[in-house]
Amino acid sequence: MGLVILVAIFLLPFDGGSSTLYGTVWPKISNLGQTQSGGDTAKLTYDYIWIIAFILLIIAGVVGIFPLGTGVLGVVGMAMITVSPYLVYPNDSAHALSAGAGFYAMWAASIVSLGASFWHGKRQEAAPPVSVMVTQTQNVGTQSPPPAKTAKCPNCQTENPLEATTCSKCGKALPKAT
């Protein structure tokens, strides 16, 4: 999924036109000094949001082998880009985001990564609690001392270890312990 994000950043058109996210952000980075001295705080804020989001998304792509990192960074980066026009230019539709294939691919990759990491984490957590619950239920349900660690031979009544398959005294096959 990280690879999808990287490919989307550099190859897929991010906006409605043909420029990639890289192609959109790079001029903002190279003109940052000019923007800073220009005194247009709205544009400066807007550019900063995009540059930070761009860096987050690059990191998200690079750490692609860790789904959680990709997911969290990807979602944060994409959320920043998505809300930035409303945040900085709330009443200016000229800055409304026109989303292209790259935009959707990066959102999808981020969310899939996040979902995959949660699913993976849940699976790892699931095993221990279930067995603990089963043990507790059994204890509560029977209210009796734990079952003996021996199996009685049906032939001669000799107590044999549970794992034994034949009686130690008479040699008869023991019923399988359940």
**By CB under 5 A, residue 167 contacts Zn ion:** yes
Q: Rounded CA gap, 157 and 168, in Å?
A: 11
Cβ closest to Zn ion, residue 16 vs residue 154: 154
* Interface map 96-135 toward Zn ion (x if CB under 5 A): ----------------------------------------
**By CB under 5 A, residue 170 contacts Zn ion:** yes
Q: Rounded CA gap, 140 and 134, in Å?
A: 10
> Exposure pattern of 133-153 as b/e (b: 16+ CB <10 Å)?
eeeeeeeeeeeeeeeeeebeb
CB of 176 to Zn ion, least distance (A): 15
Cβ closest to Zn ion, residue 126 vs residue 173: 173
Cβ closest to Zn ion, residue 131 vs residue 166: 166
**By CB under 5 A, residue 174 contacts Zn ion:** no
Count Cα atoms within 13 angstroms, Cβ side, for 132: 5
**By CB under 5 A, residue 156 contacts Zn ion:** yes
Find the part of the chain contacting Zn ion (CB under 5 A) among 54-62, 74-82, 124-132, 151-159: 151-159
CA distances from 173 to 11, 138, 157, 176 (A): 71, 29, 13, 9
Contact at 8 Å (CB) between 42 and 88? yes
Instruction: Figure out which of the listed residues 31, 137, 138, 155 binds Zn ion, where binding follows CB under 5 A.
Output: 155
CB of 178 to Zn ion, least distance (A): 19
Question: Which residues bind to Zn ion, rule: CB under 5 A?
Answer: 153, 155-156, 158, 167, 169-170
